[in-house]
Amino acid sequence: MSSSEFLSQFLFTLISFALLLMLVGAVKRMLLWSQGQSSTIHWLGLLQIPRRYLVDLHHVVARDKYMSNTHVATAGGFVLSSILIVLLYVFQLKLQILTWALLGSSLLMFVGSIFVMIRRRNPPPNLSLGQWQRLPKSLMVFSLSFFILTLPATGILPSDTGGWLLALLLVAGIIWGIGEMFCGMTWGGPMKHAFAGALHLGLHRRQERFGGGQSTGLKAIDLSSKKLGVEKPIDFKWNQLLSFDACVECGRCENNCPAFAAGQPLNPKKLIQDMVIGMAGGDDAKFAGSPYPGIKVGTHKGGAIIPIVNVLVESDTLWSCTTCRACVDACPMMIEHVDAIVDMRRFETMEKGQTPGKGSEILENLSATDNPNGFAPSTRMNWAADQNLTVFGHNEKKQEVTQADVLLWVGDAAFDMRNQRTLRAMIKLLRAAKVNFAVLGDAECDSGDLARRLGDEATFQRLANSNISTMNKYKFNTIVTADPHAFHCIKNEYGEFGGNYNVMHHTGFFAELVSQQKIKLDNSKELALTYHDPCYLGRYNGEYDAPRFLLESMGVKIKEMDRSKSTARCCGGGGGAPVTDIPGKQRIPDMRMADVIETKAEIVAVACPGCSAMLEGVVEPRPEVKDIAELMLDALIEGVVEDTAEVVVEDMVGGAV
Amino acid sequence: MSNNNLSVISLVSIGEHPTSRRPRRAEQDARAIELGIKLVGDNLQTLHAGELSDDDSQQTALRSYLGMGLAEINLLEMPENSDAVLVIAEHLKQKKPDIILTGVRAENGESSGMLPYLLAEQLGMAMVTSIAEILSVDEVNKQAEVLQALPRGQRRKLKVDLPFIASVDMAAALPRQSAFGPARRGQFEEILGTSFTDQESSEWQTADAKKRPKRLKIIKAKTAADRFKAATAKASGGGGKVVHGVEESAQAILDLLVEEGLV
Amino acid sequence: MSELFRRDPRAQWIARNRLHPMHQALVIGPVFGPSGLLRKNLHIIGFIGPNGLKRIDRSGASNDSEQGSRRSATASEVILPLHQVVEPAFYIVVVLDLVSGRLNGHDKDTLGLAQQLANRNNGGGAVVAIAFGELKDDSLNKAGVDRLIHINDEQYAHYNPEQRCNDLQGIIGELEPQHILLPDSINGGGDLGRRLAAALQQRPACGVWKLNDDTVICRGSAGKRDITRPLSKLLLVMEECSEPISETRHENILMSQASSPLANGKLFDQGNISVDPNAIPLAEAGFILSGGNGINDWEQFHHTASVLGATEGASRVAVDDGNMPRERQVGATGTWVTAQVYIAVGISGAIQHMQGIGQCDKVVAINTDEGCDMVKRADISAIGDSTEILARLVELVEQRKQAKQTNNEGDDK
């Protein structure tokens, strides 16, 4: 028997066995996921895996051109090679064209693996080391082995080249390569991401995210269930457990996490890896990436039925998150970090009653007064005493109305003297554009954003239901608000409770008015200005253009920060982070203000009351913080819409919805 | 915990938020529970005089005590407007607790703060008001050491004979957060209480508290000139005094501290 | 009032009228004649010299008379009219708080209300003040005390509400007062009053803040409601329930009353425990030294706080920068404070901070910027380098302490 005959025979056995082993591993892995709670299975999604992989995932990967090309070469080469290997060696389809194809694909994969190797030579800190350092070698061995193996078959080299020595070397290489690339896919190892990732893309909990869609609202939970929130890994939905396995430890989340940058004990990548440890059991000693700042690796362990908090993950880690979604947005595997964090927070708050910092006080205030700071609900409209606002209601003596074009959602800025300025500016602008609007007055409650992100789903649902029943009493076309958090809540999270509205952020609404010439802005001012994207407007709702359009209409050339639009850094005000106040090395707003100062801007335009509060909290001297509404009011040319006033109102009535 | 044999009952009422007037867990009662849990853990018994209201917000308020980790609250059923003291006293006479914890005063109703005193009188127990902490309980000598809260953060140590009633001050440790899950799952154990009507208070008139007028600085002028001066003189205390210079500044501050009796 | 110039028209008329019999006695000093010349009445000036001759000292050095038409207002205090109750028709008992042996505002207001009760419906009642323990105040007669029962022995230096309640029961049994008033305070009155109410089986009116004929208005629902109810025998009254007595003097006659020893006390005072100022929760602290962004030397700040005996506070920036722990943060986003004196060092006064100190009595600002909001709010603003001012303040306070110590030692000798 010649060495080539031996190889061919041996490969059949080896690959068949490897595939069998892979199958066993896959079943084992699936059993791990099935420990989770039931959740809708989107079977159709499985058909979409290739498309989602090639379009949606690649779209994210392509933000790093080097890596995307490398991945195309390596992964493409690998997938193609694998198929060909199976055809050639398992089904024994000895077609010459397949052999040539395998030669090409393995070469492609080899080229890709060289680039992986180069990148791994001096890896940036966000990359995990350990087994991930082995991966380029495995890729090379796999591709090279099959490349060499295929050479004789194509006739480039005579068969039996190299004799038994080369055959042995090839056997060794192929065992290594297949072991890593096939068995490692389901038994754990760097290639696990390919198997779990593919399934995750198909069975993702938020199917709407693919094909350019968005799904950012938190999912409601049944308040009458036996356990509220996630205590142990098995309390996650099964597809959440699956998603954790999809992580490639690329560390893009870590690069974008404001809490990590501020030295707070959170690293989204480590968190997801900890969830994997929790699901499969073990400790975190083998984790080879950046630790949670201030917490040593190797000190925590977990298991599927062991509580997570303070055993596997410190509670401070959960509470450091600002829910800014930068990690989710940056994740090429579309893992939902924020969902997992909020799920665990829900258990902490609703079952253990351990919301840190001022959390418990804030939540108590929200249930007693419908606003986080415990102001008397009857004073909600005090700020507007001089504004003569139209209020929704049934009391005709007070000139209350039941119908208006626009419902102006005031939000908790009503109690904050700083953000009352923004509200006043908005009202002047709305009046200048002759918009027919009304407010809910004292009947408005907090949107519930803060409560929900602090894990208090019960309070959120109460507030949401209360707001929905209030709003359903009246007729209006559009809700306009200056608060992106309320905007997001009403737009994306009230739907589950029967509240479906046409909601606009004030920037979007004003942008429409400006483009329709209903508001005229003076564009002669030269301002050294930069714009800070609010997370809940940008990443959560994809609105990057309207605020920029407005600023440009004022003649401003925006000095963009390095981190802007989808990679904008959070101000630190989201997700209840200012409430829980987990200590770090520096403050997130200070870092963001440093970004602003870098652009040499004198004004930073914001579009969120939270951002203005956080950024204004930075010690002076610093650039001025102004809401876009305030800037617009400064630039407003009054009186130009006089003649078109009637038209405006009619347009509004017929226009929206 | 070494106080396993101790029988501690905390009395809870439905509070009222000062600005929204919504029912809530009463702040002092919640502190009493916190103190009780720290003292005897799960052995703490909790008693509320009143029926389980159909009103959602009332029930939520009562449940928020359960959310602190109590397994159950005993409800002493009594009609509205009846005298809670007599009902509770009647009940507690049979229970013979070692320590009864209450708030200093209720957040609604008359809120006279008499309840613990009346109970102490009826049950023949000692009464300590405004405690911030129970330092130790000596079950052998039937004595406990407690810290009483005094104004401005001062504390007085008291020894008190068991059994006793203590009203818990706002200076006591903050109550733990009330969690929704346990609050929803906790149980109410209903006991039929005797009914004693409170005739007297039903005749009172109540109204929302009026803002009390700020006391005017009355000038007891004996002469026309004094009265004239008092009427025309610029009101003092409008603007502050501004001092420059290190020496003068330090001296001015010291003078103020001396005047206020702080140094 | 003693320095007032008072015109006495009658005296002036006499002075003009040389024929008036009292003219001589009144007109002293320069008199100008019709022609404008200075006239001197030689009969009434001068003195008898050693040889029996009258001498006039024209140098004016020994001019003895300096009166003129100016009636010398006596420097003595105005004597207020004495309110006497010879045969009391009934008694109103007031139990005084006497914080450190002195009447405080709350005591005086309570006495004021007691006098109102004693004098309503034709009056005739006497206010009996009951003082436990040491009594340092000598102004009881001016505060409206007609009768005084002073019970003092060693045990009243301590907290012994059971004994006091027992004594009161005895007194009330004897005097059968129409009303019993106590300040509804945290300084003992509230506690004692409720004990007494329970012992006497009297339903007290608590939180009384106004008396209207036969009804009183009480604060109920923890300050949220006003309850109008009939006047009861036992009243626990709030501060400013009545104007204090200021127009009359009272007899302040001591009535003897022995304390009746109590057999079965269940409370034993172990004395106040010393509280580290920094262990006092900020919201309760009476004296706060608060540091902000303008502080360079935090060591010195802590030292100053310990020398002054002040509780430490901080602005948000100081906390964010890690110079102070989070629970020390003052302001709307931190703790709302109610200090009697609040010293803000290097805090310019963000709006949230100003909100948080809204209820402080006296605010002192130490700052380099005279235009900042804190200076506008402060009662005293020291403009200058905080390090130097604090250093000097510490020196002054230490000097003062030393001086006091040496004084005390001197007294002891």
Phi and psi torsions of C332, nearest 5°:
-60, -30
**Interchain contact, C186 vs B130, CB within 8 Å:** yes
**Do the Cβ atoms of A602 and A576 come closer than 8 Å?**
no
Chains in touch with C (3+ beta-carbon pairs under 8 Å) read A, B
**Which chains touch A (3+ CB pairs under 8 A)?**
B, C
Nearest residue, CB atoms, B177 vs list A354, A379, A457: A354
Place of tokens 């209720």: B106
Q: State the Cα–Cα distance between residues A173 and A154, nearest whole angstrom.
A: 20
Please list, in sequence order, all residues whose beta carbon lies within 8 angstroms of the beta carbon of residue A93, skipping any fewer than 6 positions away: A87
Q: Do A369 and B24 touch (CB under 8 A)?
A: no
> Tokens in use for C6?
């008072």
Q: Does the beta-carbon distance from B254 to C308 stay under 8 Å?
A: no
d(CA A410, CA A371): 12
pLDDT tens-digit profile of A462-521? 999 999 999 999 999 999 999 999 999 999 999 999 999 999 999 999 999 999 999 999
pLDDT of B218 higher than 80: no
Same domain? For B165 and B252 the reply is no
Query: Does position A649 have pLDDT exceeding 50, yes or no?
Result: no
What gap in Å lies between CA A79 and CA C247, rounded to an integer?
103
Q: State the alpha helices, DSSP H only, in C72-213.
A: 105-119, 161-175, 189-200
Does the residue B214 lie in any domain?
no
- Structural domain boundaries, residue B250: 224-259
Verify that B166 and B245 share a domain, yes or no.
Answer: no
A417, A578, A619: residue with CB nearest C351: A417
Contacts of B181 in chain A (CB under 8 A): 227-228, 350-351
pLDDT at position A549, please? 95
B164 in the same domain as B127 = yes
Cis peptide before B116 (omega within 30 of 0): no
Give the whole-angstrom CA distance, residue A467 versus residue B93: 48
Q: How many domains does chain B have?
A: 2
Tell if the CB–CB gap between A619 and C293 is shorter than 8 Å: yes
Dist. CA C198–CA B112, nearest whole Å:
12
Distance CA A394, CA A398 (A): 9
Alpha carbon dihedral A59, A61, A67, A73, in 10-degree steps, equals -60
Same domain, B63 and B157: yes
Print burial letters for C163-178: b (CB count within 10 Å at least 16), e (below 16). Answer: bbbbbbeebbeebebe
Single-letter amino acid, residue C196: L
Residues A83, A86, A92, A96, CA torsion sign: positive
A27 contact partners, CB below 8 Å, separation of at least 6: none
CB contact under 8 A, C272 and B117: no
What tokens does C127 get? 């206010």
The whole-number average pLDDT for the span C18-26 is 77
Are C88-255 and C277-399 equal in CATH topology?
yes
Q: Tell me, what amino acid is at C81?
A: P
Q: Chain C: residue nearest B160 by CA? A: C267
Q: How far apart are CA A419 and CA A431, in angstroms?
A: 19
Q: Does residue A543 belong to the interface with chain B, where contact is any CB pair within 8 Å?
A: no
User: Is residue B197 domain-shared with residue B246, that is, in the same domain?
Assistant: no
Residue C410 has pLDDT above 60, yes or no: no
Taking CA–CA distances from A377, the nearest residue in chain B reads B20
The two beta strands, C205-212 and C215-220, are: antiparallel
- What pLDDT score was predicted for residue A645? 42
Per-residue pLDDT of B41-95, as tens digits, reads: 999 999 998 877 788 888 899 999 999 999 999 998 887 777 788 888 888 988 8
Which chains form contacts with chain B, at 3 or more CB pairs under 8 Å? A, C
CB distance A353–B20 less than 8 Å? no
Q: Which of A230, A235, A351 to mutate to test the interface with B (most CBs of B within 10 A)?
A: A351
User: What is the average per-residue pLDDT within A256-272?
Assistant: 95
At A199-210, the pLDDT tens digits run 999 999 999 999
* Residue B240 belongs to a domain: yes
Q: In chain B, what percentage of residues exceed pLDDT 90?
A: 46
C142 in contact with chain B, both atoms CB, cutoff 8 A: no
Contact B249 C366 (CB under 8 A): yes
Chain C residue whose CA is closest to B158: C269
Give the chain B residue whose CA is nearest to the CA of C388.
B246
Between CA C210 and CA A522 the distance in angstroms is 62
Tokens of C106: 């709350």
A chain contacts of residue C317, beta-carbon cutoff 8 Å: 619
Higher pLDDT, B152 or C97: C97
- DSSP result, A78-132: HHHHHHHHIIIIIS----HHHHHHHHHHHHHHHHHHHHHHHHHHS--TTS--THH
Does some domain include residue B195?
A: yes
Tell whether B157 and B76 lie within a shared domain.
Answer: yes
B164 and B72 part of one domain: yes
Whether residue B216 lies inside any domain: the answer is no
Residues 6+ apart with CB under 8 A from B202: B81
Q: Give the model's pLDDT for residue C233.
A: 92
Question: What percent of chain A clears pLDDT 70, i.e. is strictly above it?
Answer: 97
Look up tokens 């005591």; give the residue: C107
Pick from A366, A292, A333, A375: nearest CA to A56: A333
Paired strand residues for C209: none
Instruction: Give contacts of A581 with chain C, Cβ < 8 Å.
Output: 326
Measured between alpha carbons, how far is A241 from B216 in angstroms, rounded to an integer?
70
Residue of C nearest to A417 (CA): C351
Distance CA A89, CA A12 (A): 5
Mutation site, A227, A231, A346, A369, interface B, largest B CB count within 10 A: A369
pLDDT single digits (tens) C122-173: 888 999 999 998 888 888 888 999 999 999 888 888 899 999 999 999 999 9
Q: How many CA atoms lie within 13 A of C215 on its CB side?
A: 10
Question: Is the omega angle on the peptide bond into residue A621 within 30 degrees of 0, that is, cis?
Answer: yes
- Report the C-alpha gap between C189 and C180 in whole angstroms: 12
Decide if A104 touches B, using CB distance below 8 A: no
Q: Which is nearest to A239 in space by CA: A284, A271, A207, A287?
A: A207
**Each residue's pLDDT tens digit, C73-118:** 444 456 788 888 888 899 999 999 988 888 888 999 999 999 999 9
Q: Are A323 and A341 in contact (CB under 8 A)?
A: yes
C270 neighbourhood in chain B, CB within 8 Å: 145, 156-159
Q: Which amino acid is at A584?
A: G
Same domain, B106 and B143: yes
Q: Confirm or reject contact between C398 and chain B (CB < 8 A).
A: no
Q: What is the CATH number of domain C277-399?
A: 3.40.50.1220
A399 has a pLDDT exceeding 90? no
B72 and B194 fall within a common domain: yes
More confident residue, C319 or C41: C319
DSSP labels, A564-592: -GGGPPP-S-STTHHHH----SS-HHHHH
Residue C409: per-residue pLDDT = 59
By the CB < 8 Å criterion, does C328 face chain A? no
Report the alpha-carbon distance of residue A369 to residue A346 in Å, rounded. 21
CA dihedral over A346, A349, A355, A358, signed as positive or negative:
positive
Bridge partners, A282 (sequence order) = A302
Contact C320 A587 (CB under 8 A): yes
pLDDT on residue B205: 85
B201, A417, A364, A193: which is closest to C228 by C-alpha? Answer: B201
Q: What is the DSSP string of A373-411?
A: T---GGGTTGGGTTT---BBSS-GGGT-BSB-SEEEE-G
The string of pLDDT tens digits covering residues A520-540 is: 998 887 889 999 999 999 999
- Distance, in Å, from the CA atom of B108 to the CA atom of B26, rounded to the nearest integer, reads 9
Complete DSSP assignment for B104-147 = SS-SSTT--S-HHHHHHHHHT-EEEEEEEEEEEEETTTTEEEEE
Q: Does A395 touch chain B (CB under 8 A)?
A: no
**CATH label of the domain that carries residue B102:** 3.40.50.620
Q: How far apart are CA A624 and CA A634, in angstroms?
A: 14
User: Residue C119: which residues within 8 A CB-CB, separation 6 or more?
Assistant: C125
For B175, the closest chain A residue by CA position comes to A360
Domain match, B88 and B13 both: yes
Q: Look at residue B181 in the predicted model and tell me its pLDDT.
A: 93
> HEC string of A33-93?
HCCCECCCCCHHHHHCHHHHHHHHHHHHHCCCHHHHHHHHHHHHHHHHHHHHHHHHHHCCC
Same domain? For B160 and B244 the reply is: no
Minimum mean pLDDT among A15-24, B193-202, C209-218, C223-232: which range?
B193-202
**Neighboring chain C residues of A578 at a CB cutoff of 8 Å:** 333
Output DSSP code: residue C21: T
Residue B210 within any structural domain of the chain: no
Band of the pLDDT at C200, cuts 50, 70, 90? very high
ipTM given for this complex: 0.86
Is the model's pLDDT at C64 over the cut of 70? no
Burial of C134 (0-12, 13-18, 19+ CB in 10 A): middle
Average pLDDT estimate for A86-95? 86
Domain regions of chain C by residue span: 1-78, 88-255, 277-399
B1 within domain boundaries: no
Q: Which residues of chain B does A368 touch, with a Cβ-Cβ cutoff of 8 Å?
A: 17, 20, 22, 24
Per CB-CB distance under 8 Å, the chain C contacts of A587 are: 320
Round to whole Å and give the CA distance between C363 and C375: 9
Scanning every residue of chain B, which has its alpha carbon at the shortest distance from the alpha carbon of C190? B113
Separation of alpha carbons C319 and C298, rounded Å: 12
Distance CA A463, CA A461 (A): 5
**Is B160–C267 a contact, with Cβ atoms under 8 angstroms apart?**
yes
Q: Is residue B232 part of a domain?
A: yes
Rounded Cα distance between A194 and A199, Å, is 9
> C88-255 architecture in CATH?
3-Layer(aba) Sandwich (3.40)
**Residues B112 and B29 reside in one and the same domain:** yes
Confidence band, pLDDT 50/70/90 cuts, at residue C50: confident
SS (HEC) of A510-545: HHHHHHCCCCCECCCCCCCEEECCCCCCCCCCCCCH
Burial class (CB in 10 A: 0-12, 13-18, 19+), A548: buried
C-alpha to C-alpha distance for C304 and B167, rounded to whole angstroms: 37
The string of pLDDT tens digits covering residues A283-332 is: 999 899 999 999 999 899 999 999 999 999 999 999 999 999 999 999 99
Which of A353, A367, A374 lies closest to B176 in CB terms? Answer: A353
- Whether residue B213 lies inside any domain: the answer is no
